[in-house]
Amino acid sequence: MKMDSPSPHNALDDNFQGLVGKPIDRIEGPLKVCGLAPYAYEVDEFEQPLYGWIVDSRIALGTLRDIDTSAAEKAPGVVHVMTHRNAPKQAPWGESGRDRFARARPQLHDDQVHACGQPVAFVVAQTLEQARAAAHLIRVDYAPRNGAYDMARHLADAVTPAEGDSGPADSAVGDFAGAFAGAAVRVESRFTTPNQCHAQMEPHAALAMWDGDRVTVHCSAQLLQSARKCLAATLAVPQKNVRIVSRYIGGGFGGKLPIYGDVILAALAARELGRPVKVALTRQQMFHTTTHRSETMQRVRLGASADGRLLAIGHDAIVHGGRRDDFYESAAVQTRTLYAGENRLTTHRRVPLDMPVADSMRAPGEAVGMLALEVAMDELSEVLGLDPIALRLANEPAEDPEKHVPWSTRQFRQCIEEGAKRFGWDERRPTPRATVRGRQWIGIGMAAATRGNLLMPSTCKVRLDGAGVLTAQMAMTDIGTGSYTVLTQVAAEMLGLPIDQVRMQLGDTDFPETAGSGGSFGAASAGSALFDACQNLRDALARKAGVDPGHAVFRAGHVGDGARSFRLAELAGTTGMEARGEIKPGAMEKKTSQQAYGAHFAEVAVDMDTGEVRLLRMLGVFAAGRILNRKTARSQVLGGMIWGVGAALFEAALLDPRHGTYVNHDLSEYHVPAHADIPALEAVFLHEVDPHANPLKIKGVGELGISGAGAAIGNAIYNACGVRLRDFPFTLDKVLAGLDD
């Protein structure tokens, strides 16, 4: 199936069993709460595994002058110590190409250090404790070199990046410079956002075992096919000789799109030793060894007429990246679509640094870009003397303002209006410091939310057996988002089966290939392939029953046409029946502009004496196509909103610019919101189906919740105390400095 035309009316629209949208509990939930869902490090598929421990570099750039492993090699239980001197030959670091996560990533292949946290040795022992103890006996002598770590000091090295995931680095429509200069009202603001690091509950981990010339690796990976290609390329073996298994993942958020040294080193050592080898990164290692979100420096320029009509929209972003990489944070991408305006300019510049690779982190681009754009819109509304909501609604575009194609669906206005009504926006007092409770100023703010919608090629196989049980197989992953659950709901509704008669088998490259989880495309892509497979099986079952497939009704384990009814189990027979399905993006992604939308509303209290900000309440209203499961979807957007609170008030990886290291590389000092920081949040979904997006008529929700959330809090802070902050996060020292001005 290819999305070359809008999806017609289908079985999910009929929803005869009412399973689509139903807030059922997670299918795998009982396994997880009982500790019976094995994550990568807990898999016991292989007997007597050995345990590995990574020794990571303490410098950011330089050469390994010497490495003394003699004491470690003699330590109790040690089986093998690997360094660049004895590591097996691997392919060189690969070019990015079309899939940057599939390139070769050699480990311990030479004496060069490119970033802090890079593995420099690998100890394998009989127990974890023995491997860890021996690792501390290794002595490394470095020859450090001066590197570039602080983006602000190296802006002269900025380059225009090549076209990335979000299209060209720059875009221009009309005469921005002339329109901005001639606008009656102008706002020009500069914003900074910090480095951020993933802190998934489950650390990166791997268990590798070879069977002849084929390796099986259990690991924590969002994109199984990319992981397979990467490992095969690194080891210079055929892809068919690599199997990646990742059935349960304790959080991904983009940090598990690539695979890292844990996977490569486990596979190398397992092949050398002929034994299973497992390894996990420590929490501290995760801050340097894996990817992070780039810091940004952004300039937003808005020019408007006196009545608030946008005439010029400009958004410039400077970001950093690893020197051996070409990814860039597309912070200006949402500015290309969200508001009307005839004269537009967006630019991205990338500063290469000697830092660990920066890459995707939940809602790359929009998560940080909307912090700047939506605060700037609030500033413009103040200068105009116009309500922030009125300003946004006055600049609703009739079509995509840069691509000049129609929206697939757009309920942006409805999200704002519904949110304003529910939150009590009409009670907001526009003058800062107008609402006081004791020694606190109270303020209300809002911001828009938008996130692009994607569809990626995916395939699926389904089989109905003689007991009436449907089994679906896909190399899809569940990163805690509810993939097992929503896919089960789709399959059960399509075939008219009870939930407990569907078996969803995911997380194995031996299954049909899917795009995996990431970019909010997981459910749409894998789910559409599943839909196609189920539709093909429906047609085959109907024909076997002598029922017109176009009028067949599947319900309660039967298929019929109103006059006749047949049990699916009997039709499947003793041999069962199989079908395959696939989805490919098509003309719809070019003929329409596909975005999910929302609006955030926040109320905060700012302490007059300390500058402390406390979130009092928060609401998000979203339109994201058909919602497959209201419970799991709500969980997704609430998680994104909470992450937005962290971006606004807490989260920053603090760089030591002398050494290229993060000084707060653990959860003791890297602050994320705790329960005490988050009141009861509310999330609402508007009814919507999008036939242009995919046959499920859904849009991704995983990253929509974070987009714009932090800006709503920043705008609420200004409404509370009159301090306009532009350097995220908005910690109390920055608030106090503003109060003193």
Active-site residue set: 703
Q: Report the Cα 721 to chain-centroid distance in Å.
A: 33
What's the CA gap between 626 and 532, in Å, rounded? 17
Q: Where are the alpha helices (DSSP H) in 546-699?
A: 568-572, 588-591, 630-649
> Sheet harboring 565-567: ordered strands across?
553-555, 558-560, 565-567
Distance CA 201, CA 390 (A): 41
Q: How many other C-beta atoms are found inside a 10 Å radius of the C-beta of residue 666? A: 13
- Distance between CA 389 and CA 372 in Å, rounded? 17
Give Cα 100 distance to the centre of its chain: 16
| 566: Cβ contacts below 8 Å, ≥ 6 apart | 545, 547, 558, 559, 560
Instruction: Kindly report the backbone phi and psi dihedral angles of residue 130, in degrees, each rounded to the nearest multiple of 5, phi listed first.
Output: -70, -40
DSSP element (H, E) containing 208: strand 205-211
Instruction: Give the whole-angstrom CA distance, residue 454 versus residue 167.
Output: 13
Structure tokens at 605: 């209290």
Instruction: For residue 728, give Cα distances in angstroms to 48, 62, 376, 603, 689.
Output: 48, 32, 14, 18, 36
Closest CA to 176 of 316, 307, 306, 308: 316
Rounded Cα–Cα distance for residues 299 and 189 (Å): 6
- CA–CA distance from 172 to each of 68, 147, 336, 341, 349 (Å)? 56, 35, 9, 12, 15
The helix (run of H) or strand (run of E) holding residue 130 is helix 128-135
Distance in angstroms (rounded) separating the CA atoms of residues 251 and 633: 16
Rounded CA-CA distance 174/463 in Å is: 55
| Distance separating the N- and C-terminal Cα atoms of the chain | 61
419, 190 Cβ separation under 8 angstroms: no
Identify the burial level of 92 via C-beta atoms within 10 angstroms of its C-beta, where 0-12 means exposed, 13-18 middle and 19 or more buried. exposed
Is residue 614 helix, strand or coil? strand
The answer to whether 75 touches 233, Cβ cutoff 8 Å, is no
Angle, helix 630-649 to helix 709-721, in steps of 10 degrees? 50
- Residue 621 tokens, joined: 């209203």
CA distances from 45 to 38, 207, 474 (A): 10, 9, 21
Inter-residue contact 148 to 352 (CB < 8 Å)? yes
- CA distances (Å), 455 to each of 21, 78, 249, in order? 20, 48, 22
Which among 216, 166, 9, 223 is positioned nearest to 691, based on CA atoms? Answer: 9
**Closest-CA residue to 453 (of 295, 625, 319):** 625
All residues at 6 or more sequence positions from 399 whose CB lies less than 8 Å from its CB, including other chains: 405, 406, 407, 593
